[in-house]
């Protein structure tokens, strides 16, 4: 490959007189090397104007074609260098080196191969290719820079050519590309294998997690028509507490104090909201007030809760094998958790028949249990719980289910991602009781939008209800009634 095209410039042995030499573009429109005489002063004839326009279009077309050919050749050279690097690496040596040292060695190998193949790469390009190779070998390839960016909350890959991220609550496209479907599929399979799961054509859907706890969803062709689809919900490397949420504008200090009291006096709490609204973050923040002496058992589809207590048992569901055997769902784990002498049971998300077992746990001495649910508001959350209990095929009447929900759940916290990208607590609702078949709700806090700033950020205020709570006796039992009333007074 002695005539390899360098990254910039023409082929080494390419003659200067062909179309690859862009320096001769000025001779377009000459006859036998002699340019026609310029017209005399006066209006330019229409024929001459048309000829000049045609010459300009031809020049632009040739420049575009030459640039495209150079780009294709450059990509081919880099692909060849990448393949040669991989063939000359010793897997045992790679596994024994630290990432920093491996990067240096790979960069040196690329430099030697580029010299051998007469491919011109500057230092920046060599380091970029070396970083790409190391990320492919040890990490998640092109996704590594996005995972290291703490301003990114979500990463969404729609096939090898299209990658989107969420920054500040807004979705933007980023210039991240995978080489092809195979490259992206290999990254997906590496993620799944790291948590003992598999994803392929026979089993094309998978929920997994990264080492830092970030949640991952994978769906492959033929279900994903335009190529493998990968969604990553990142979690902050530093735990987010109420102080940070107040700084983000997600809630006010009085609401934070009320939720802290609710967690300390072991109220049963449901966090409700839409996808990406911050339900898990809110539950993590409230869990910081659980007594360290309590035994907590968590049940999740993909472990993502970040509890700080020393006595925590984390359970995770398991999908069935290719033979359709071995599945362990959330309901199985909740039932088993009841036999593990828990003080509290925390369910990452209630999606189905496990709602019945959750209510049973809340009603049988496991006060302070928590869970999340997808719903648009607090009353819808109760309706969804009722529907999911009916999925358990227990044959309970609607009134019996509602009575059990009222007895089990004390508080519902509604979080929402609003149109300005901000995530806010929009409702804090207590379950006050039941009258006939109607559940009585009391909105302790309810957010009302009042306007919008010049930068597009929503402004609003919280309406506060100070009526006597249905769980006042529990507040008194823990000595927190006065603190509760003070927090409501501070809310204005």
pLDDT digits (tens, 9 = 90+) for 180-204: 899 899 899 989 988 888 898 888 9
Predicted confidence at residue 115, as pLDDT, reads 76
Listing DSSP states for 166-232 in one string gives: EETTEEEEE----SSHHHHHHHHHHHHHHTT---SSSS-EEEEE-TT--EEEEE-TTTSTTS-EEEE
| Residue that terminates a domain, selected from 138, 167, 188 | 138
Among 214, 288, 301, which residue's Cα sits nearest to residue 245?
Answer: 288
Predicted confidence at residue 448, as pLDDT, reads 93
Does residue 304 belong to any structural domain of this protein? yes
Q: 277-300, pLDDT tens digit by residue?
A: 889 899 999 999 999 999 999 998
What is the arithmetic mean of pLDDT over 433-449?
91
Which of 132-136, 170-174, 361-365, 468-472 is least confident?
132-136
Predicted confidence at residue 20, as pLDDT, reads 39
Same domain (yes/no): 464, 327: yes
Q: 337-369, pLDDT tens digit by residue?
A: 999 999 999 998 898 888 998 998 888 888 999
Predicted confidence at residue 380, as pLDDT, reads 94
Q: Which element (helix H / strand E) includes 402?
A: helix 398-408
**Based on the structure, what is the number of domains in the chain?**
3
Same domain (yes/no): 5, 93: yes
- If pLDDT is split at 50, 70 and 90, which confidence band does 1 have? very low
| Residue that terminates a domain, selected from 175, 206, 233 | 233
Q: For residue 377, give Cα distances in angstroms to 258, 325, 326, 386, 387.
A: 19, 38, 36, 15, 15
Residues 6+ apart with CB under 8 A from 32: none
What is the arithmetic mean of pLDDT over 299-320?
87
Task: Return the SS3 of 65.
Answer: helix
What is the rounded average pLDDT for all residues in the chain? 81
Does residue 99 belong to any structural domain of this protein? yes
Predicted confidence at residue 134, as pLDDT, reads 75
Neighbours of 251 (CB within 10 A): 25
Which of 82-91, 328-337, 445-454 is least confident?
82-91
Predicted confidence at residue 99, as pLDDT, reads 74
Instruction: Report angle CA 56, 60, 61 to the nearest 5 degrees.
Output: 115
What is the arithmetic mean of pLDDT over 372-394?
90
pLDDT tops 50 at residue 23: no
Same domain (yes/no): 398, 289: yes
Q: For residue 350, give Cα distances in angstroms to 178, 294, 387.
A: 35, 23, 12
Same domain (yes/no): 295, 441: yes
CA distance 291 to 263: 9
Does residue 26 belong to any structural domain of this protein? no
| HSE-CB of 281 using CA atoms within 13 angstroms | 32
What is the arithmetic mean of pLDDT over 20-24?
39
Contact predicate 411/442, CB 8 Å: no
Same domain (yes/no): 188, 273: no
Predicted confidence at residue 56, as pLDDT, reads 60
- If pLDDT is split at 50, 70 and 90, which confidence band does 55 have? low
- If pLDDT is split at 50, 70 and 90, which confidence band does 318 have? confident
- If pLDDT is split at 50, 70 and 90, which confidence band does 446 have? very high
Q: For residue 188, give Cα distances in angstroms to 183, 191, 201, 209, 416.
A: 9, 5, 12, 11, 30
Strand 229-233 versus strand 296-300 pairing type: unpaired
Same domain (yes/no): 419, 273: yes
Q: 236-262, pLDDT tens digit by residue?
A: 777 788 999 999 899 999 999 999 999
pLDDT tops 90 at residue 104: no
Positive or negative, the CA dihedral 275, 276, 282, 283 is positive
Which of 76-85, 144-153, 226-235 is least confident?
76-85
CA distance 355 to 357: 5
pLDDT tops 50 at residue 25: no
Higher pLDDT, 324 or 314: 314
Predicted confidence at residue 327, as pLDDT, reads 86
Residue 429's beta-bridge partner residues?
412, 443
pLDDT tops 50 at residue 4: no
| Structural domain harbouring 191 | 141-233
CA distance 48 to 2: 45
Same domain (yes/no): 67, 148: no
Contact predicate 134/110, CB 8 Å: no
CA distance 305 to 235: 10
Neighbours of 189 (CB within 10 A): 18
Same domain (yes/no): 121, 222: no
- Hey, what's the torsion of the CAs at 259, 263, 265, 270, to 10 degrees? 90
Neighbours of 365 (CB within 10 A): 9
Same domain (yes/no): 222, 318: no
State the CATH number of the domain containing residue 173: 3.30.450.90
Residues 6+ apart with CB under 8 A from 440: 431, 432, 433, 434
| Residue that terminates a domain, selected from 205, 233, 261 | 233
What is the arithmetic mean of pLDDT over 45-53?
59
Backbone φ, ψ for residue 417 (5° rounding): -95, 110
Percentage above 70 pLDDT, the chain? 83
Residue 416's beta-bridge partner residues?
424
Predicted confidence at residue 37, as pLDDT, reads 52
Predicted confidence at residue 53, as pLDDT, reads 61
CA distance 317 to 302: 7
What is the arithmetic mean of pLDDT over 370-389?
93
Which of 23-27, 293-297, 382-386 is least confident?
23-27
Does residue 43 belong to any structural domain of this protein? no
Predicted confidence at residue 412, as pLDDT, reads 96
Predicted confidence at residue 125, as pLDDT, reads 76
Same domain (yes/no): 1, 107: yes
Does residue 27 belong to any structural domain of this protein? no
Q: For residue 491, give Cα distances in angstroms to 256, 364, 478, 484, 487.
A: 11, 34, 22, 11, 6
- The tokens describing 412, both together, are 């519902």
Higher pLDDT, 490 or 128: 490
* 3-state SS track over 104-146: HHHHHHHHHHHHHCCCCCCHHHHHHHHHHHHHHHHCCHHHHHH
């Amino acid at each position: 490959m002695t005539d390899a095209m360098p990254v910039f410039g023409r082929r080494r042995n390419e003659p200067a007189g062909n179309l690859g030499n862009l320096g001769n573009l000025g001779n377009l429109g000459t006859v036998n090397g002699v340019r026609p005489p310029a017209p005399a002063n006066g209006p330019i004839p229409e024929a001459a104007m048309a000829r000049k326009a045609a010459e300009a279009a031809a020049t632009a077309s040739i420049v575009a074609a030459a640039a495209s050919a150079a780009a294709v050749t450059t990509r081919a050279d880099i692909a060849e260098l990448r393949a040669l690097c991989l063939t000359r690496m010793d897997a045992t040596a790679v596994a024994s080196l630290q990432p920093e040292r491996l990067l240096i060695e790979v960069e040196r190998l690329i430099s030697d191969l580029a010299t051998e193949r007469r491919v011109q790469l500057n230092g920046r390009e060599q380091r970029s290719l070396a970083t790409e190779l190391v990320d492919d070998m040890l990490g998640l390839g092109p996704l590594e820079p996005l995972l290291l960016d703490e301003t990114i909350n979500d990463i969404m890959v729609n096939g090898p050519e299209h990658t989107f991220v969420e920054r500040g609550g807004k979705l933007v496209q980023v210039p991240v590309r995978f080489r092809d479907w195979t490259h992206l599929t290999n990254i997906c399979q590496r993620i799944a294998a790291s948590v003992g799961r598999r994803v392929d054509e026979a089993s094309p859907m998978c929920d997994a997690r990264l080492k830092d706890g970030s949640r991952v969803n994978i769906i492959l062709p033929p279900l994903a028509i335009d190529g493998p689809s990968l969604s990553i919900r990142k979690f902050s490397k530093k735990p987010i507490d109420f102080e940070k949420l107040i700084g983000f504008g997600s809630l006010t200090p009085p609401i934070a104090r009320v939720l802290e009291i609710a967690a300390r006096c072991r109220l049963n709490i449901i966090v409700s909201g839409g996808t990406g609204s911050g339900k898990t973050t809110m539950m993590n923040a409230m869990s910081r007030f659980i007594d360290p002496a309590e035994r907590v058992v968590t049940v999740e589809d993909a472990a993502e809760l970040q509890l700080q207590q020393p006595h925590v048992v984390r359970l995770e569901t398991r999908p069935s094998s290719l033979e359709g055997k071995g599945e362990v769902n959330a309901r199985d784990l909740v039932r088993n958790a009841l036999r593990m002498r828990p003080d509290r049971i925390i369910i990452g998300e209630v999606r189905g028949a496990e709602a019945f077992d959750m209510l049973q746990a809340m009603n049988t001495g496991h006060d302070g249990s928590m869970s999340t649910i997808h719903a648009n508001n607090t009353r819808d959350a109760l309706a969804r719980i009722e529907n999911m209990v009916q999925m358990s095929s227990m044959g309970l009447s609607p009134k019996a289910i509602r009575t059990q929900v009222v007895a089990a759940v004390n508080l519902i916290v509604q979080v929402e991602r609003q149109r300005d990208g901000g995530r806010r607590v929009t409702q804090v609702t207590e379950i006050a009781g039941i009258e006939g078949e109607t559940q009585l709700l009391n909105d302790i806090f309810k957010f009302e939008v009042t306007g919008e700033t010049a930068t597009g950020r929503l402004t609003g205020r919280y309406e506060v209800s100070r009526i006597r709570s249905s769980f006042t006796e529990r507040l008194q039992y823990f000595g927190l009634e006065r603190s509760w009333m003070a927090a409501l007074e501070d809310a204005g």
